[in-house]
Chains A and B, each alone.
Chain A
Amino acid sequence: MSSMPDRLDLRRQDLAQVYRPQREWIDGRGILIVVAHFFSGIGAGAWLWSTLYDFPLGRVLAFASVMGLSGVAHLAFLGRWDRFWRILRRPHQSWISRGMWAIGVFGLAAGVVLLRVPGSVLPGLATALSLVAACGILLYEGFVYAASRAIPFWRTRLLPALYIAYGLRGGAALLLVAAALGGDGFDVAAVEAIKLWVVVSTAVLVLLYLVAGSRAGGAARESVAQLVAGRVSPSFYGGTVLVGIVVPVALALGRETLGLPELALVGSIGVASLVGDFYVKYCVVKAGVYTPMVGASGV
């Protein structure tokens, strides 16, 4: 009971503000949706890279990330296990529904791939299906947010692009961590080169996203202001920029100077990137504010 007045005061304050922050998908149990999207994004990305480079341990980790960690986070967020299946009902209309279908198909197909079910057609079909489903997972997350007509900062096609890029980046990072922890048969050098390119391109994408948001004006500009100079800025600068972009690039470029063992370096780049991947999603979701009903433009 002690937290009730705080919560009510907060809601009252929010409703009185011109730019009302969204809280349902970030505060309290709402953080679980960010966690779920983080794990399903990096899992789907890792599955694509693992299949490309034929890295069995990577495939196992990718599967565990999507079906285990993300699945548990999704269910814990909903808190209604008995009704979970109902989300599958409207793939023709809802991105959440499409995403759950993608995760479901991925679970079945990837499971068949991992179990090495014998047969002439099944393994190939399952691999193809798992790849399509992994792409679907990468695609749907950004659109879940972009479908929110009330939050202009999210309502742009750049957001799905950002989520796809960060999913691929996070997937590569997960494989680097796996390699550092002793994964055999994995071409670290190949993925590391791709990783560096993806880190740079995601940095550019983040910048583009912020520029587009600030040019959009109104609530989108307010969201950008909260990211770069407001309540979300510590997470943005600390998590997204410093740990997620500066550290991996610095480690990759300064490998000679640092003199770290190769696997430790690779693992560090992977961990820093994963932290950054989480924070970019956290910050984007946290910075979401609603279009004002009244006040900003008057009635």
Chain B
Amino acid sequence: MRLGMVIDLKRCIGCYGCQVACKAENGTRPGTTWARVVKREWGEYPDVKKLSIPVLCMHCGEPPCVEVCPTGASQKRERDGIVFVEGDVCVGCRACVMACPYGARYYQDDQSDYFGQGENAYEQCVYSAHQKGVVEKCDFCRHRLERGEEPACSANCMCKARIFGDLDDPESDVSRLIREEGGFQLNPELGTDPSVWYLPQER
């Protein structure tokens, strides 16, 4: 099994709902956005186009972050292809941050809170799950998957722009969409073989 995600750029309205859902689910500190939305505009008035591209860890088939990790903290799970960081093993050298072309990794040295008045009760609770001095990233909400739920970003996408499933199953929704709607990966030339696919904004 290889878990992956398809993001339909026709459906995405750039509402940042995935970003907020991820932060709420994983309790990341300010400045850390495992799921985020990149916006690009091109053209000149009146012929202007805008594109919202949700990005997250691509859970690559050939993850460059795992390749450079000197401790084995960055790993790819055999059973479903999820790339994750073992916080207890990471030493914070940040080689993986340099190797990741998708900006998916965050070094956790900033202990700041959101409101500048000390951590509130919610923050105290959620931040305690994060170690200082290590690299962290999206893990497709492993804890939710264990409960049979899909990742928070796809579960909360109000436009159903994110579809989560098994890329190895040719009958799954993700495989079918990639096949039928011209799915593509980001930076295929780097040979990372991402598990996150995109459907074009225009047919």
Tell me the A residues contacting B by CB distance below 8 Å. Answer: 1, 4, 7-8, 11, 15-16, 20, 22, 24-25, 29-30, 77-80, 83-84, 86-90, 93-97, 100, 144-145, 147-151, 288, 290-291, 293-295, 298-299
Contact = CB atoms under 8 A, between A and B. Distances in A.
Contacts of B98: 22, 24-25, 145, 148, 150-151, 288
Given A77-B93, A147-B68, 12 more contacts: A1-B116, A4-B112, A16-B39, A22-B98, A86-B89, A89-B72, A93-B69, A94-B67, A95-B68, A148-B64, A150-B99, A299-B40
B64 A94 contact: no
A151 to B, nearest CB: 6
Given A80-B91, A149-B190, A294-B53, A87 B70 contact: yes
A293 B69 contact: no
Given A86-B89, A87-B70, A150 B51 contact: no
A105 B93 CA distance: 21
Nearest to B201: A299
Interface string B107-136: 101101000100000000000000001000
Interface of B: 9, 30-31, 33, 36, 38-40, 42, 51, 53, 55, 64, 67-73, 89, 91-95, 97-103, 107, 109-110, 112, 116, 133, 184, 186-187, 190-192, 198, 200-201
Nearest to A29: B109
10 contacts: A7-B110, A86-B91, A148-B68, A149-B99, A151-B98, A293-B102, A293-B103, A294-B38, A299-B9, A299-B186
A88 B70 CA distance: 7
A88 B33 CA distance: 31
Given A94-B69, A96-B70, A149-B64, A78 B30 contact: no
Nearest to B198: A299
Nearest to A218: B189
Contacts of A22: 97-98
A170 B154 CA distance: 53
A80 B95 contact: no
Contact of B69 (A11, A90, A100): A90
Contact of B64 (A150, A288, A293): A150
A8 B192 CA distance: 29
Given A4-B116, A293-B38, A293-B186, A149 B192 contact: yes
A29 B186 CA distance: 31
B101 A96 contact: no
Contacts of A290: 101, 103
A132 B36 CA distance: 47
B101 A291 contact: yes
Nearest to B63: A149
A267 B16 CA distance: 59
A85 B56 CA distance: 31
A182 B109 CA distance: 44
Nearest to A154: B98
Contact of B103 (A20, A79, A95): A20
Contact of A299 (B53, B73, B94): B53
A79 B91 CA distance: 8
Nearest to A1: B116
Nearest to B118: A1
Contacts of B31: 7-8, 11
Q: 6 closest A-B pairs (Cβ-Cβ)?
A: A150-B101, A94-B70, A97-B70, A148-B98, A96-B70, A149-B64
A84 B40 CA distance: 41
Of residues B53, B101, B107, B198, which shows the largest number of chain A Cβ atoms within 10 Å of its Cβ? B101
Contacts of A291: 101, 187, 190
A84 B192 CA distance: 29
Of residues B9, B70, B109, B186, which shows the largest number of chain A Cβ atoms within 10 Å of its Cβ? B70
B72 A90 contact: yes
Of residues A90, A144, A149, A293, which shows the largest number of chain B Cβ atoms within 10 Å of its Cβ? A149
Contacts of B187: 291, 293
A25 B94 contact: yes
Contacts of B101: 149-150, 290-291, 293
Contact of A80 (B100, B103, B133): B133
A225 B162 CA distance: 38
A217 to B, nearest CB: 12
A82 to B, nearest CB: 9
A262 to B, nearest CB: 44
Contacts of B190: 149-150, 291
A176 to B, nearest CB: 33
Nearest to B131: A80
A147 B67 contact: yes
